[in-house]
């Protein structure tokens, strides 16, 4: 190669099968290269343009220089060079040959010393690809630039990016041109220049599905697959009414492909040791904790929750995984020896096969993690049907499951309406269905799936009550009542909808109104927000439409259909708390027991009437001086009609197999059975006596 003597750092052309690539080259006549050597990237072939650029950028950083794109002709050619390489000259341009990209170093040299600290370079102020994705998510969630930078610096204290860089990224986001192909960060890492990377295949990180797809894809067989359906649903930010993303509805053919992928993965996953499955789920828990900010921001942007409530959702998800990892004990079988004449019997638990879960929108993280981790730990494969209102969390969980090492096909995620749910219920390869939904929808799924012989567990709606006795502590009671009654935007199954005051309710009502008035209704991303927007469709005549303040309805009786007491409401109407005044505790308990949607009941008092309350109340969730809260995953959800609720849910994803075995009558002809005798042999007596003498000598007898 010809060495160019130019006062500027010389560009080197590298043809990457359709790319003219500018790189940097060491002087071939130099016998003792300086450290680091500032070598050009080694020749090699790559599957695509992005992989090549990423590899060259990482290699250049390890050599003490930074590479930038000098010229690009879309997918035909690209010229890369040292950022201190001067004016670009015409170079040999390669052509795309069969879609493979390769590097050919033409010529070039450096006239500058390698950087001692690559972090001092301006490129270090650029955001990484992951940071750009987080900026996109937090922007969609409504966070302000200062809040975004603060959160980024919490995750990366060495972040050098300025507000100017953030505004540049936000501008590209608004223009819609921020993709992997158009934006590539060469963010240097703070590493020693001497610790050069070994040339070879780079450890590339697959970009997020959000940057590779214009619509939310399916997740089938370990890959994100764009749906071929033309039917879409806009995912709306309830705080701004802006479209966060577009959801493609899964076709029946794509659902069948997901079922086939799960069925194909089942045999090998079933035979995977329990300890190996547990390690993967524990790794998933670690990754969820790492990406807690990303999950919380997605929950807020799609569901409208305050960030505080969104983080609570993720924390409960971690608890669900902790409980799931204790699945080894419930999976244990039983063994009874000599149950009959020389007959042993034992039972073992085996996975069912392909299982499915249908999610509700109110807790997108915890509901999904109530379902598939337990199923896959038992050895099943799983198909998750996400909620159409907030599917983004499920997609993040899919990415994290892949990163944790979950094999392809073990977890699959689809989206869709009633036709997809019906197809799941009707598919003969699906052995069990878990559904979290309204009472009517849960019964519909249960009826259809069980008709096909499937197992079904249903977590459905319920109404929660609180009884306040006259002697209850005022401050403690109100401090507990207000959050469970009005917060969580009416999306909490264990939220409080009815308060029953025993005795005069007027003093309580006035104080309750005072505390409700100070609650701040605002976008969930605002730090001072107590109540965010609801997910319900906007109300005509109101700006933005999804905000509703706390509402208290008094003078309600248990037979008032118009008040909404008879029917359980979810979403906006759950922010309306009704209170009833009764004369005695017995009357209050009677009202709760007659409620057909009763889920939980709590009582606040200073006397010792708790024994009477917990005995007479029929609700399955009871609180005494504490509100009814979300139970642990394996404690009953509170719905007495749920077919597989509570502890029985532990065995829901396994089937019992009983084995009987007898050996003596089937011994080979040359084998003899060991004689069974009531009296010990002389050898046994001698061994026993020797052991007894030894024990006596030890004890000094």
Percent of the chain with pLDDT over 90: 12
Q: How far apart are CA 409 and CA 332, in angstroms?
A: 26
Cβ atoms of residues 217 and 164 within 8 Å: no
Beta strands in 151-227 (DSSP E): 218-220, 223-225
* Helices and strands, number each (H, E), in the chain: 18, 24
Q: How far apart are CA 523 and CA 678, in angstroms?
A: 81
CATH architecture of 213-459: 3-Layer(aba) Sandwich (3.40)
For 337-395, what is each residue's pLDDT tens digit?
Answer: 766 777 778 777 888 999 999 988 888 888 898 889 889 988 999 999 998 888 989 99
Domain boundaries, the chain: 1-126+191-212, 213-459, 463-640
Q: How far apart are CA 363 and CA 535, in angstroms?
A: 12
Domain 463-640, CATH: 3.40.309.10
For 393-413, what is each residue's pLDDT tens digit?
Answer: 999 999 999 999 999 999 999
Residue with tokens 């040999």: 92
Has 493 been annotated as catalytic?
Answer: yes
Residue 469 has pLDDT above 70, yes or no: yes
Q: Which residue, 596, 384, 359, 542, is CA-closest to 459?
A: 359
pTM of the complete model: 0.64
Q: Please report, in angstroms and rounded to a whole number, the separation of the first and last CA atoms in the chain.
A: 96
Task: Give the residue-averaged pLDDT of 425-446.
Answer: 87
CA distances from 265 to 164, 272, 353, 355, 628 (A): 48, 11, 10, 12, 40
Cβ atoms of residues 488 and 575 within 8 Å: no
Which residue in 20, 82, 355, 493 is the catalytic one? Answer: 493
Cβ atoms of residues 574 and 491 within 8 Å: yes
Q: How many CB atoms lie within 10 A of CB 65?
A: 26
Residue with tokens 């029985």: 648
Q: Which is more confident, 24 or 494? A: 494
Of the listed ranges 46-60, 90-104, 137-151, 475-489, the least confidently predicted one is 90-104
Q: What does 635-650 look like in DSSP terms, one character per residue?
A: S--S-TT-TT-GGGGG
For 26-40, what is each residue's pLDDT tens digit?
Answer: 333 333 434 456 777
CA distances from 146 to 32, 135, 160 (A): 50, 11, 14
Percent of the chain with pLDDT over 70: 66
Chain center to CA of 511: 40
Q: How does the average pLDDT of the chain come out, rounded?
A: 72
Confidence class for position 571, pLDDT limits 50, 70, 90: very low
Supply 429's token pair.
């390869």
Please tell me whether the peptide bond between 695 and the residue prior to it is cis, using omega within 30 degrees of 0: no
């Amino acid at each position: 190669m010809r060495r160019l003597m130019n006062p500027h750092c010389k560009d080197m052309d590298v043809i990457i099968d359709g790319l003219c690539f500018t790189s940097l080259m060491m002087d071939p006549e130099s016998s003792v290269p300086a450290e680091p050597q500032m070598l050009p990237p080694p020749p090699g072939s790559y599957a695509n343009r992005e992989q090549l650029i990423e590899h060259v950028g990482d290699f250049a950083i390890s050599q003490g220089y930074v590479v930038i794109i000098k010229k690009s002709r879309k997918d035909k050619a690209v010229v890369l060079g040292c950022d201190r390489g001067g004016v670009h000259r015409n170079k040999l341009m390669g052509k795309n040959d069969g879609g493979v990209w390769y590097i050919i170093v033409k010529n070039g040299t450096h006239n500058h010393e390698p950087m001692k600290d690559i972090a001092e370079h301006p490129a270090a102020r650029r955001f990484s690809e992951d940071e750009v994705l987080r900026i996109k998510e937090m922007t969609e969630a409504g966070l302000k630039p200062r809040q975004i930078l603060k959160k980024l610096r919490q995750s990366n204290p060495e972040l050098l990016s300025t507000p100017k860089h953030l505004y540049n990224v936000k501008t590209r986001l608004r223009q819609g041109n921020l993709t992997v192909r158009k934006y590539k960060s060469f963010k240097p890492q703070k590493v020693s220049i001497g610790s050069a990377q070994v040339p070879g295949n780079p450890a590339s990180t697959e970009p997020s599905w959000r940057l590779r797809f214009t619509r939310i894809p399916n997740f089938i067989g370990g890959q994100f697959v764009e749906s071929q359906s033309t039917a879409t649903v806009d995912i709306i930010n309830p705080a701004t009414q802006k479209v966060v993303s577009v959801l493609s509805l899964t076709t029946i053919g794509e659902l069948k492909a997901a079922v086939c992928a799960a069925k194909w993965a089942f045999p090998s996953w079933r035979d995977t040791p329990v300890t190996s499955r547990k390690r993967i789920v524990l790794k998933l828990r670690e990754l969820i904790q790492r990406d807690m900010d990303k999950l919380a921001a997605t929950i807020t942007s799609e569901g409208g929750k305050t960030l505080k409530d969104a983080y609570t959702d993720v924390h409960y998800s971690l608890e669900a995984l902790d409980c799931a990892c204790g699945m080894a004990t419930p999976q244990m079988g039983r063994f009874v020896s000599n149950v009959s004449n020389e007959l042993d019997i034992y039972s073992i638990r085996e996975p069912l096969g392909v299982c499915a879960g249908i999610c509700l929108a109110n807790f997108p993280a915890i509901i999904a993690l109530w379902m598939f981790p337990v199923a896959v730990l038992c050895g099943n494969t799983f198909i998750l049907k996400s909620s159409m209102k907030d599917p983004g969390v499920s997609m993040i969980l899919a990415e994290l499951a892949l990163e944790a090492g979950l094999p392809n096909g073990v977890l699959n995620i689809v989206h869709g309406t009633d036709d997809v749910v019906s197809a799941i219920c009707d598919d003969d390869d699906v052995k069990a269905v878990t559904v979290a939904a309204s009472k009517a929808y849960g019964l519909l799924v249960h009826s259809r799936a069980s008709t096909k012989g499937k197992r079904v567990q249903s977590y459905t709606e319920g109404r929660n009550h609180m009884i306040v006795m006259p002697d209850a502590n005022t401050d403690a009671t109100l401090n507990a009542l207000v959050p469970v009654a009005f917060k969580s935007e009416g999306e909490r199954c264990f939220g409080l909808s009815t308060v029953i005051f025993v005795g005069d309710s007027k003093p309580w009502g006035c104080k309750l109104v005072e505390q409700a008035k100070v609650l701040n209704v605002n976008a969930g991303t605002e730090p001072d927000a107590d109540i965010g927007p609801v997910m319900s469709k906007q109300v005509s005549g109101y700006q933005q439409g999804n905000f509703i303040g706390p509402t208290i309805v008094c003078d309600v009786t248990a037979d008032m259909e118009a008040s909404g007491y008879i029917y359980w409401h979810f979403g906006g109407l759950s922010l309306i708390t009704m209170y009833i005044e009764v004369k005695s505790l017995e009357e209050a308990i009677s009202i709760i027991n007659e409620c057909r949607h009763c889920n939980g009941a709590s009582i606040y008092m200073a006397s010792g009437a708790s024994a009477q309350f917990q005995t007479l109340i029929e609700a399955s969730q009871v609180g005494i001086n504490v509100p009814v809260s979300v139970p642990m995953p394996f404690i009953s959800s509170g719905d007495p009609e749920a077919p597989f609720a509570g502890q029985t849910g532990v065995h829901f994803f396994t089937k019992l197999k009983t084995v009987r075995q007898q050996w003596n009558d089937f011994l080979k002809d040359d084998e003899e059975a060991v004689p069974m005798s009531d009296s010990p042999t002389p050898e046994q007596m001698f061994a026993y006596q020797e052991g007894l003498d030894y024990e006596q000598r030890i004890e000094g007898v």
